[in-house]
């Protein structure tokens, strides 16, 4: 399988604007000159050139707003205000709540012997740790905390959906109000936060000196666009992403790693890991003790993994279908050459699971029976309930992102990081700022945090295909997703499936992941595990405080809605990894075999370099 240069075909996934995707010159002067030349060339059919002017303007605006559409935000507030203005009953209800909250606050200020007692007043959410310091329950800090929680309580009610307004706008307004309130929290002030005051007194102000140094470092790094220094403790290829293996295939999109066997005999069917391309692959190969890949190899499986390339402007025209064709299918072809006449267990994580499901449905429709099983880890196939990320996405927002990517050739990791941090601003922005700038504390390093800081870019065309074809239009489960001119269907997949959802996933909510039960008719095992999008997947045996629920659906069984499924399956202590290993064993041939050779030189797959390869180091 020789590497060759490929020109991306016209995508059948999603249509974007037919404006020419002009490369942006390095200097602004050259770019302006080329634009002026294009405008003066006298060509007929001027829609393209004028559209280019508009796209360039929107791209500039998107850079100023970090990719957030001002129109989307403004229209959401306008929708809320106009509907609220025409709802006198709702206005009266909010006035009544404001009075009730004011009285509740006043009574709470009286202290534990007041009408509300020691447990009265407003309570922070269970996952809100801003007010954990015991001094927040005593004067004067309690008054500041309670006044803030009272305001937060009222705004939460005020920004709930008003009858008649668009549901997405209601969510967006509530989210934006929460962002503004989080910014104004008394916990963010060094003069109001008892933890900061206590630390300042105890250290003689050295915490503020150290915090100022941290702030200057971060500002300098932001201005110079310098990456954060790598963790000295967690080094790729040494302490993380260090399961022994060899790169046996490379093309312009990915490297294929074949991991060295750790047992004398192995299951005949190999496992292919398809990770998400929004981050590095080694979320599934962290430290040796919590590496899913290392665990599988130690259990007698031959494991292959895709390590995606970090795309630059030269990959701007890579489409979503290229990730299927030059990614998943090329990896399957390579494994077939190494382990011929053997079916393959395919496993996809997050976006990797989505593209794997598309590939599996396409293969099933074409009669390609190479897949022994399909495993999806926190991967969505239906996007009607795609979680909090949907608050950012509408036609205006996607147009902003498309134009910014059109200008750059890709979506930068910093631009993506901002959206993910905003979803959990309380923890990822404000609490981090308090600890780093006011308490002078360095962030504790973990292998998963080192991985989280090692993000990648997204090609312009692929990300546009993904956002429009899947997130915005939900084509895959709506029967409108075409590959090679043919609409595909998930129900064509007859290979057994093992699907994982995580309880606290804000990226791929488990109820959204669970909806694959509506669109498939095969043998399907669904597991709901504790934890979030990453922590729930990295859940090795022996990890404390872990549990999961597991259910098995055979083709003849009736559908269970998520709530009913949850109530009818009791939690089990431990790691879902053990369940998956046993399930893979049951879906494999009974007899173990000697490990296959590394690569297949005669078939054009010679060993190229040791794992983790070269693409994982690209910046």
Ranking 216-220, 229-233, 254-258, 502-506 by mean pLDDT, the lowest is: 229-233
Domain shared by 345 and 249, yes or no: yes
Torsion, Cα 399 402 408 414, to 10 degrees, reads 90
Rg (CA), the chain: 27
Domain shared by 273 and 163, yes or no: no
Say whether the peptide bond before residue 140 is cis (omega within 30 degrees of 0): yes
CA distance 238 to 572: 35
User: Which of residues 151, 175, 199 is at a domain's end?
Assistant: 175
Length of the chain: 619
Residue scoring higher pLDDT (456 or 267): 267
pLDDT at 50: 78
Ranking 10-14, 215-219, 514-518 by mean pLDDT, the lowest is: 10-14
The yes-or-no verdict on residue 43 having pLDDT over 60 is no
Ranking 221-235, 243-257, 417-431, 471-485 by mean pLDDT, the lowest is: 417-431
Write down the residue that tokens 């470092």 correspond to. 217
CA distance 246 to 434: 44
The yes-or-no verdict on residue 38 having pLDDT over 60 is no
Q: Are strands 254-259 and 572-573 parallel, antiparallel or unpaired?
A: unpaired
pLDDT at 4: 38
Residue 584: inside a domain: yes
Beta bridge partners of 374: 346, 497
User: Which of residues 120, 143, 175 is at a domain's end?
Assistant: 175
Domain shared by 170 and 249, yes or no: no
User: Which of residues 175, 193, 225 is at a domain's end?
Assistant: 175
Domain shared by 492 and 582, yes or no: yes
Token digits for 109? 């200020």
pLDDT tier for residue 427 given thresholds of 50, 70 and 90? confident
CA distance 34 to 20: 13
Q: In this structure, what DSSP letter does residue 568 have? A: H
Say whether the peptide bond before residue 475 is cis (omega within 30 degrees of 0): no
pLDDT at 19: 38
The yes-or-no verdict on residue 87 having pLDDT over 90 is yes
CA distance 81 to 83: 6
CA distance 92 to 99: 11
Q: Give percent above pLDDT 70 in the chain.
A: 88
Token digits for 13? 């996934």
Residue scoring higher pLDDT (335 or 401): 335
Domain shared by 142 and 254, yes or no: no
Domain shared by 509 and 366, yes or no: yes
Domain shared by 255 and 151, yes or no: no
For the residues of 356-397, what is the DSSP string, one character each?
HHHHHHHHHHHT---EEEEEEES--S--TT--GGGGG-SHHH
pLDDT at 395: 81
The yes-or-no verdict on residue 8 having pLDDT over 50 is no
CA distance 302 to 261: 7
Residue 56: inside a domain: no
Residue 433: inside a domain: no
Collapsing DSSP to helix, strand or coil, 303 comes out as strand
Provide the domain count of the chain. 2
pLDDT at 262: 98
- State the sign of the Cα–Cα–Cα–Cα dihedral 210, 213, 215, 221: negative
- Domain around 97: 72-175
Residue 185: inside a domain: no
Instruction: Give me the mean pLDDT over the 421-448 stretch.
Output: 83
Q: Taking a C-beta distance cutoff of 8 angstroms, is the pair 296, 305 a contact?
A: no
Instruction: Give me the mean pLDDT over the 43-63 stretch.
Output: 69
pLDDT at 73: 85
Query: H helices of 409-525, where?
Result: 413-423, 425, 431-433, 447-452, 460-466, 510-514, 516-519
The yes-or-no verdict on residue 342 having pLDDT over 60 is yes
- Residue 401: other Cβ atoms inside 10 A: 26
The yes-or-no verdict on residue 244 having pLDDT over 50 is yes
pLDDT at 291: 97
Ranking 23-37, 305-319, 514-528 by mean pLDDT, the lowest is: 23-37
Name the active-site residue from 242, 347, 350, 609: 350
Beta bridge partners of 271: 303, 345
Token digits for 140? 């004067």
The yes-or-no verdict on residue 516 having pLDDT over 60 is yes
pLDDT single digits (tens) 268-301: 999 999 999 988 999 999 999 999 999 999 999 9
Q: How many helices (H) and strands (E) does the chain have?
A: 22, 17
Mean pLDDT for the chain?
88
By the 10 Å C-beta count (0-12 exposed, 13-18 middle, 19+ buried), 148 is classed as buried
Residue 19: inside a domain: no
Q: Are strands 410-411 and 458-459 parallel, antiparallel or unpaired?
A: antiparallel
Residue 195: inside a domain: no
Residue scoring higher pLDDT (436 or 227): 436
Q: Are strands 371-377 and 497-502 parallel, antiparallel or unpaired?
A: parallel
CA distance 372 to 497: 9
Instruction: Based on the residue annotation, tell me whether 609 is a catalytic residue of this protein.
Output: no
Domain shared by 163 and 255, yes or no: no
Domain shared by 266 and 158, yes or no: no
CA distance 464 to 470: 10
pLDDT tier for residue 114 given thresholds of 50, 70 and 90? low
Residue 367: inside a domain: yes
CA distance 465 to 475: 11
Instruction: Give me the mean pLDDT over the 385-413 stretch.
Output: 78
pLDDT at 421: 67
pLDDT at 48: 67
358: domain CATH number? 3.40.50.1820
Ranking 207-221, 331-345, 593-607 by mean pLDDT, the lowest is: 207-221
Domain shared by 490 and 351, yes or no: yes
- State the sign of the Cα–Cα–Cα–Cα dihedral 585, 498, 305, 236: negative
Residue 300: inside a domain: yes
CA distance 483 to 358: 9
Query: What is the distance between the terminal CA atoms of the chain, rounded to a whole angstrom?
Result: 27
The yes-or-no verdict on residue 362 having pLDDT over 70 is yes
Domain shared by 116 and 251, yes or no: no
Smallest Cα–Cα separation from 297: which of 341, 245, 343? 245
CA distance 504 to 97: 31
The yes-or-no verdict on residue 497 having pLDDT over 80 is yes
Instruction: Give me the mean pLDDT over the 25-39 stretch.
Output: 44
Q: Give percent above pLDDT 90 in the chain.
A: 66
The yes-or-no verdict on residue 344 having pLDDT over 50 is yes
Instruction: Give me the mean pLDDT over the 38-64 stretch.
Output: 65
């Amino acid at each position: 399988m020789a590497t060759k240069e490929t020109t991306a075909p016209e995508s059948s996934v999603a249509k974007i604007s037919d404006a020419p995707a002009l490369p942006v010159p390095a200097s602004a002067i050259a770019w302006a000159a080329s634009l002026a030349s294009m405008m003066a060339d006298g060509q007929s059919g001027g829609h393209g050139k004028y559209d280019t002017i508009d796209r360039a303007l929107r791209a500039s605006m998107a850079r100023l707003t970090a990719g957030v559409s001002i129109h989307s935000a403004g229209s959401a507030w306008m929708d809320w205000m106009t509907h609220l203005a025409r709802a006198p009953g709702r206005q009266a209800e909010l006035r009544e709540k404001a009075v009730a909250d004011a009285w509740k606050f006043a009574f709470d200020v009286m202290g534990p012997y007041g009408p509300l007692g020691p447990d009265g007043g407003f309570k922070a959410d269970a996952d809100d740790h801003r007010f954990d310091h015991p001094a927040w329950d005593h004067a004067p800090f309690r008054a500041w905390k309670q006044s803030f929680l009272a305001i937060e309580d009222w705004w939460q009610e005020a920004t709930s959906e008003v009858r008649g307004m668009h549901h997405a706008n209601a969510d967006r307004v509530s989210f934006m109000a929460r962002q503004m309130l989080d910014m104004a929290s008394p916990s963010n002030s060094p003069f109001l936060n008892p933890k900061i005051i206590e630390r300042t007194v105890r250290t003689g102000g050295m915490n503020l000196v150290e915090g100022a140094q941290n702030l200057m470092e971060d500002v300098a790094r932001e201005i110079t666009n310098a990456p954060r220094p790598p963790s000295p403790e967690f080094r790729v290829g040494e302490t993380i992403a260090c399961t022994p293996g060899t790169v046996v295939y490379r093309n312009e999109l990915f490297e294929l790693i074949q991991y060295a066997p750790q047992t004398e005999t192995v299951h005949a069917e190999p496992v292919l890991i398809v990770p998400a391309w929004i981050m590095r692959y080694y979320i599934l190969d962290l430290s040796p003790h919590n590496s899913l890949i290392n665990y599988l190899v130690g259990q007698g499986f031959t494991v292959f993994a895709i390590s995606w390339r970090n795309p630059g402007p030269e990959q701007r025209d890579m489409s979503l279908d290229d990730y299927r064709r030059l990614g998943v299918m090329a990896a399957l072809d390579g494994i077939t050459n190494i382990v011929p006449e053997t079916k393959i267990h395919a496993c996809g994580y997050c976006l990797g699971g989505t593209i794997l499901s598309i590939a599996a449905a396409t293969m099933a429709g074409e009669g390609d029976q190479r897949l022994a099983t399909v495993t999806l880890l926190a991967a969505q196939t239906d996007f009607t309930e795609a979680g909090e990320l949907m608050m950012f996405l509408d036609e205006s927002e996607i147009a902003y992102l498309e134009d910014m990517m059109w200008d750059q050739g890709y979506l930068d990791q910093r631009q993506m990081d901002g959206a993910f941090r905003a979803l959990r601003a309380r923890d990822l922005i404000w609490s981090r700022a308090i600890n780093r700038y006011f308490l002078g504390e360095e962030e504790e390093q973990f292998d998963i945090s080192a991985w989280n800081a090692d993000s990648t870019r997204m090609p312009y065309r692929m990300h546009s295909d993904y956002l429009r074809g899947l997130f915005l239009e939900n084509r895959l489960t709506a029967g409108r997703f075409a590959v090679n001119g043919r609409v595909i269907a998930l129900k064509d997949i007859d290979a057994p499936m093992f699907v994982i959802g995580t309880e606290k996933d804000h990226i791929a909510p488990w109820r959204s992941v669970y909806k694959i039960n509506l669109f498939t008719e095969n043998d399907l095992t669904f597991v709901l595990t504790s934890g979030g999008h990453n922590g729930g997947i990295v859940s090795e045996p022996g990890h404390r405080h872990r549990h999961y629920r597991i259910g098995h659906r055979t083709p003849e069984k009736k559908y269970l809605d998520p709530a009913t499924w949850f109530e009818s399956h009791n939690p089990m202590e431990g790691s879902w990894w053990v369940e998956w290993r046993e399930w893979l064993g049951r879906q494999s041939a009974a007899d173990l075999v000697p490990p296959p050779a590394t690569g297949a030189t005669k078939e054009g797959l010679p060993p190229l370099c040791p794992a983790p390869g070269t693409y994982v180091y690209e910046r």
